Amino acid sequence: MNNFIASNVELGNDVIIDPPSILGKAPRGAREGELQLTIGRNSHIRPFSTLYAGSSMGDYFQTGQGVSVREDNVIGNNVSIGTNSVLEFGNRIGDFSRIHSNCFMEMVTIGRYVFVGPNVVFTDDPHPMGCPKYQECKGGAVVEDYVRIGAHSTILPGVRIGRNSLIGAGSVVVKDVPPDSVVAGNPAKVIKKIDELVCFKGFFDKPYTWPPYEEMMK
Active-site positions read 127
Distance CA 179, CA 146 (A): 10
Secondary structure class of 196 (helix, strand, coil) = helix
- Cβ 144 vs Cβ 163: under 8 Å: yes
- Cβ 45 vs Cβ 28: under 8 Å: no
- Cβ 95 vs Cβ 79: under 8 Å: yes
Q: What are phi and psi of 210, to 5 degrees?
A: -75, 150
58: which residues sit within 8 A by CB, 6+ positions away? 40, 75, 76, 77, 78, 79, 95
Q: Return the C-alpha torsion angle 179, 127, 85, 173, nearest 10.
A: 30
Helices (H), the chain: 213-216
Distance CA 20, CA 36 (A): 20
- Cβ 48 vs Cβ 74: under 8 Å: no
